Amino acid sequence: MNLEQLQSFVEVARTGHFTRAAALLHLAQPSLSRQISTLESDLGAELFHRARGNITLTDAGESLLPLAKRMLADAETVRHEMQELAGLKMGRVRIGATPTLCVSLVPDVLASFHAAHPGIDLHLTEQGSPGLLDELAGGALDLALIVTSEDRATSTASLQRTPLLTEELVVVASANSPHLAGRTSLTLAELAELPQITYHESYDLREVTMQAFHAAGLAPNVVLEGPEMDAVLRCVERGLGVAVVPAMVMLDRPRLCSVRLTDPGLSRTISLAHRNDVSLTRAAQAMQDMVVNTANLLASGAASASGLVTRVS
C-alpha cells in the first residue's frame, strides 16, 4: 500500500467515477484501475461496488476512507515540515475557527502572522466547533479555535484543548435604535420581548441562546432567522432588530451599541485545539504562539475594560 494508491482510492470515492477520477489525477484509466486492484489485493477486500455508471463504497471501503484521508493529510504535513528545515520561510498552516471568531480574533491573528512570516501559506476553514474538531481529528487542520459554553465543555482523547479567553455574550442594537436607549443591561426575559435576529442552525451561539430561552420557559420574538454573522450585524445596524453576540464582535463597530445580558448572563470559553498524536510543525507552533499572544492583547485591551473578556488562568 502506498500514498499514490490511497490518493487514487480517495478520488474515486469522492467522484464515484473511475474515468473522472483518472482525469483529475492526470492518470490513464487503466493505470488508476490497476492501482485500485493492487490496493484491494494487498488489503484482501473489495473497496468498491462496481456497477455500470454507479461506483459505491463497500463496507471495507467505508472503513478505509477516513483512515486514508488522515494518512494523506499526515503525509502532507510531513512534507511541509521538511520544507521548514530551512526556517520559517516556507511551509503551511491550516487553521480553523468558528464564524464569530472569524470576525473578531482571527483577522488580527492572521494579519500579525503574515507580517511576521510572509512565506508561510495560510489556509482558513470557517465552521462550527463540532465540525472543526472532526476536521482536526481527521488531519485536515493543524489548529482549531473553538468555543464552548460553560455547560458544554468538550473533551476528545486524541485532541488537546487549551482554554484562552472567557467572553460574555452581549445584546446589540443599532446605535440609533430605541431598544437599548438608556440601558446598561437587559434580562433574558426583557430580551425575549424585543425583535430578535437569530443565526443559522449550525452556529454554536444559536444553540446556547435558544437553550437559555427554553430553560427559562421563554419564547423569543424572532423577526429574522438563519443569516451568517456578517449579515446579522448589518441587519442590526439597519434597525431590523437586536441580536446576541460575543463581546469581541463589538470592537470597532461605531454603528452598534451593546448592553450586558443578565438573569442569566451567558458566556463562552474560547479554546485552541490540536491533535495529541502529531507534533505541531514549526509553522503551526509559531501560529499557536501568535494566537495566544493576540488573545492576551485583546483581553488586556478595550474589550476587557468592563470585564467582558478575561483570560483563562
- The more confident residue out of 202 and 262 is 262
Please provide the average confidence, as pLDDT, over all residues in the chain: 88
CATH code where residue 142 lies: 3.40.190.10
Whether residue 35 is contained in a domain is answered as: yes
278 shares a domain with 138: yes
CATH code where residue 47 lies: 1.10.10.10
> What share of the chain has pLDDT > 90, as a percent?
53
Whether residue 208 is contained in a domain is answered as: yes
> What pLDDT shows up at residue 242?
96
277 shares a domain with 140: yes
Whether residue 255 is contained in a domain is answered as: yes
> What pLDDT shows up at residue 112?
94
The mean-pLDDT minimum among 51-55, 122-126, 278-282 falls in: 51-55
The mean-pLDDT minimum among 39-53, 59-73, 150-164 falls in: 150-164
Whether residue 151 is contained in a domain is answered as: yes
132 shares a domain with 214: no
The mean-pLDDT minimum among 73-87, 88-102, 136-150 falls in: 73-87
Give the number of domains in the chain: 3
285 shares a domain with 150: yes
> What pLDDT shows up at residue 298?
80
152 shares a domain with 8: no
Burial class (CB in 10 A: 0-12, 13-18, 19+), 289: exposed
What is the extent of the structural domain holding 176?
Answer: 166-267
The model's confidence at residue 236, banded by pLDDT at 50, 70 and 90, is very high
The model's confidence at residue 212, banded by pLDDT at 50, 70 and 90, is very high
Whether residue 77 is contained in a domain is answered as: no
Main-chain dihedrals φ then ψ at residue 195, nearest 5 degrees: -65, 125
Q: Among 14, 48, 72, where does a domain finish? A: 72
pLDDT digits (tens, 9 = 90+) for 259-274: 999 989 999 999 999 9
170 shares a domain with 157: no
26 shares a domain with 57: yes
274 shares a domain with 158: yes
Predicted structure pTM score: 0.69
173 shares a domain with 133: no
pLDDT digits (tens, 9 = 90+) for 144-184: 999 986 444 445 667 899 999 999 999 999 998 898 988 99
